[in-house]
Structure 1
Amino acid sequence: MENLVIHNLFNRIYKNKTVLVTGHTGFKGSWLVYWLNKMGANVIGYSLKAPTIQNHIELLSLEIPSIIGDIRDLNKLNETFEKYKPDIVFHLAAQSLVKFSYENPIETYDTNVMGTLKVFETCKKYNVKAIVNITSDKAYDNKEWIWGYRENDPLGGYDPYSSSKGCADILTNSYRNSYFNITKYKDSHNTLLASCRAGNVIGGGDWAQDRLLSDIMVSVSQNKKVHVRNPKATRPWQHVLEPLSGYLLIGQKLLEEKVEFSDAWNFGPSDKESITVEEIVKKVKKYWNKIDYEINCNPNQLHEANMLKLDSSKAHIILKWNTVWNSETTIEKTVKWYKSFYDKKTILTNEHLKTYIKDASKKGIAWTKS
């Protein structure tokens, strides 16, 4: 019964489809390939090796083709597309860390811009039906204002990472106009391309450095004090499954050849889920009292946005997409995942996915209806 319910999601569009996910060894990518695999898709992962010693993708033990390759390697991309001929590509591979981008700007731009360009070129060459390109909320020209950014607001980016994501989004718009124009669909091309921007995501299985929740969990597991920087920074925190449901919903629409969905989309929580870094730490402590922390406000630290929110009205109204879990549930699930891993050596990925789908179904979320 469980598999039957999962297979029915997203109008059963992914069952037996060949789906290539770049960046599958990363945090969001690992959750995405797990969900796709559960829905009966033929999933292929393409990515660099997992960036951390402990990593979610290996813990999942999925029996899927896992190609270790760089998105900047055009020959390797061509070999992979030639062999598997994907119906749809979810492009998540990226250099995703702000601090690393300051130290390694050339690698950041090369990966996030030229790598994305090479993925698009390969998709074009092999006539891929649908592309869902994942960028970031940091792609917007952040004015530090209290309103959420809409899809038609200017793109930009202060730091190299944010700027590279803005560039990747501009590149996406260019390819959608130049090569995958919806007015020429089924005439000069057969590809629909969408871009998705999401805010800060948390959940079990993230061990990347310089990310708040993963840093907290590692510190707690080692009985070390957590050092919190930028405590007043406000973010719209959401569980990793929330934007993934949006990406999958967009992918469904593109595979169904609905050209109006070939566009840019925001996937973020409501305003009330925007809370400060310090509040997050206090909530984490409620679910794992081993945490000990101190605030470190370094006046010379690298610039990071203090206020950044997305307006997801377009997704709510047109896609009928909505979030399922509030920030309290999101933090609780995240902490329990790590606590189970460190205390019991078990992971709760499958349990959390099932609970999320069940809760979404209770709320009547569109993608749960067959």
Structure 2
Amino acid sequence: MSDFWRGKRVLVTGHTGFKGSWLALWLASLGAEVYGWALEPDTDPALFDQLRLARDLDHAIGDIRDAGLTADRVRQADPDVVLHLAAQPLVRRSYREPLLTWQTNVIGTASLLDALRGREKRCAVVIVTTDKVYENREWLYGYRECDPLGGHDPYSASKAAAELAVATWRNAFFPAGSAVRVASARAGNVIGGGDWAEDRLVPDIARALAAGRPVSIRNPASVRPWQHVLESLSGYLLLARRLYEENDAAFASAFNFGPEPSDVCDVRAVMQEALRHWPGDWQDASEDGAVHEAGLLGLSIEKARAVLGWTPRWSVAEAVEKTIRWYRAVHDGADARALTLSQIEAYANG
């Protein structure tokens, strides 16, 4: 992987966020020339700052919804690869701010795709959406890339709409043989050190345990395809490389990245595994009349396995262990950057 990425110009949108920070650090460690385009970090602490990432890349602050500024940033970066992670990623916030969510996730994606229209330089583009793009039927089996899109909540529906934008721009402006090659990536519920967002399971666990409080958990029976952040990022990087190297329509399509079926589990199981590595207590904080969130959600990863040769490396137990150990070590004074780089190295060599 390192030989391919060395010297590549890579535009990462959302580089100040949780996943974007892990991705930018990994790419920089591989020798890529990373160009960022994102809003300022919106959490305190913020992983971007903890990793001291501004020194590792061409760091620019801007709004993906602004088509003109986004086009300017694309011209400045002149990318070989684009990895689009900028988003409003929170389900519960999408109920409070549905228009912002749709403007960011749909118009922002369209603004980026349109900025790439007419480019003659070869460019691989991976648009990151979510496992929640599928019309949720509460099925026991994992959703496949060919299953219908949908979305009960504003966040999920906005990401499904972003998938439609990807399909539209691909069909209308980036057909087979084009220099610009576009795919989308649908990842499961990612966990990992440095996520400080509101209303997410692992950050809530880390904050409560660090403060010596019981962890309040919503919907402990909800089932999700949990995976370490490095699993999804490895999928994005592999997909981008195959898109760049091979102008094949098989790669210019949607791909799921998730855990093995045996690792799809409920919130309670993740909580119990976390407490093995950082002892504490938890309580059920489910609310009557709470906003709708899917109860049962899984992904089929057979397409990624067959077409890309991608497969997850860490079990959910390993993912939870490495995540909780990250938070606990940083709480005890460890350097977040060194710890994150060590986990990247362990994953890459695993």
Give the TM-score category using the shorter length: over 0.9
Q: Report the 3-state secondary structure (helix = DSSP H, G, I; strand = E; otherwise coil) of the residue aligned with 1:66.
A: coil
Aligned to 2:175: 181
The separation in 2 between residues aligned to 1:350 and 1:82, in whole angstroms, is: 30
Which residue type is aligned with residue 26 of structure 2? W
CA shift digits 1:177-232 (9 cap, x unpaired)? 111111xx1xxx41100000011000001000000001110111122221111010
The reply to whether residue 53 of structure 1 matches residue 44 of structure 2 is yes
1:151 counterpart letter in structure 2:
E
8 Å CA contact 1:102, 1:159 repeated in 2: yes
Which deviates further from its counterpart, 16-25 or 128-137? 128-137
Q: TM-score, normalised by structure 1?
A: 0.91
Q: Give secondary structure in 2 for the equivalent of 1:196.
A: strand
Shift of 1:125: 4.2
Aligned to 1:254: 243
Q: Which residue of 2 aligns with 1:81?
A: 74
Among candidates 137, 140, 152, match of residue 158 of structure 1: 152
Q: Residue 20 of structure 2 contacts residue 85 of structure 2 at CA under 8 Å; is this kept in 1?
A: yes
Cα RMSD over matched residues? Answer: 1.1
Residue 336, structure 1, aligned to residue 325, structure 2: yes
Paired with 1:159 and 1:191, the residues of 2 have a C-alpha distance of 32
Task: Indicate conservation of the 8 Å contact 1:156/1:166, yes or no.
Answer: yes
- Counterpart of 1:124 in structure 2 is 117
Match of 1:211 in 2: 200
Letter in 2 for 1:53: D
Cα shift at 1:75? 2.2
Q: Quote the offset at 1:174 in angstroms.
A: 1.2
Q: Please say if residues 124 and 241 of structure 2, whose CA atoms lie closer than 8 Å, have aligned partners that are also in contact.
A: no
One-letter identity of the residue aligned with 1:279? A
Does the 8 A contact of 2:10 with 2:77 survive in 1? no
Give a deviation string over 1:134-175, Cα, whole Å, max 9, x none: 000100101000010111100001100000000001111111
1:33 aligns with 2:27: no
CA distance in 1, matches of 2:72, 2:166: 23
Q: Deviations over 1:82-119 (max 9, x none)?
A: 22211111000000000000010000001100110000
Counterpart amino acid of residue 339 in structure 1: R
- Per-residue CA deviations over 1:287-309 (Å, capped at 9, x if unaligned) read 001x2211122121111001100
Check conservation: 1:117, 1:171, Cα contact below 8 A: yes
Q: Partners of 2:295 and 2:204 in 1: how far apart?
A: 19
1:114 aligns with 2:107: yes
Change (3 A) 1:120 1:127: farther
Matching residue of 1:23 = 14
Query: Partners of 2:91 and 2:324 in 1: how far apart?
Result: 24
Q: Where in structure 1 are there 5+ consecutive unaligned residues? A: 1-8, 360-370
- Classify the secondary structure of the residue corresponding to 2:108: helix
AA matched with 1:144:
E
- Report the counterpart of residue 140 of structure 1 in structure 2: 134
| Structure 1 runs of 4+ with >3 Å offset | 125-128
Under a length normalisation based on structure 2, what TM-score does the superposition of the two structures give?
0.96
Aligned pairs, number: 344
Query: In the alignment, is the contact (CA less than 8 A) between 1:195 and 1:265 conserved in 2?
Result: yes
Q: Percent identity?
A: 42
* Partner AA of 1:288 in structure 2: W
User: CA deviation digits over 1:21-78, x for unaligned, max 9?
Assistant: 0000111111111111011100011100011011111111132111110001122212
In the alignment, residue 354 of structure 1 is paired with which amino acid?
A: E
Per the TM alignment, residue 127 of structure 1 is displaced from its structure 2 partner at its CA by 4.2
| The one of 186, 209, 230 aligned to 1:220 | 209
Does the aligned pair in 2 maintain the 1:81–1:126 contact within 8 Å? no
Contact 1:21-1:90 within 8 A present in 2 as well: yes
Helix, strand or coil at the partner of 1:100? helix
Q: Within the alignment, does 1:281 sit opposite 2:271 as a pair?
A: yes
Shift of 1:258: 2.9
Q: Which runs of 5+ in 2 are unaligned?
A: none
Which shows bigger deviation, 257-266 or 234-243? 257-266
Contact 1:238 1:330 in 2 (8 A): yes
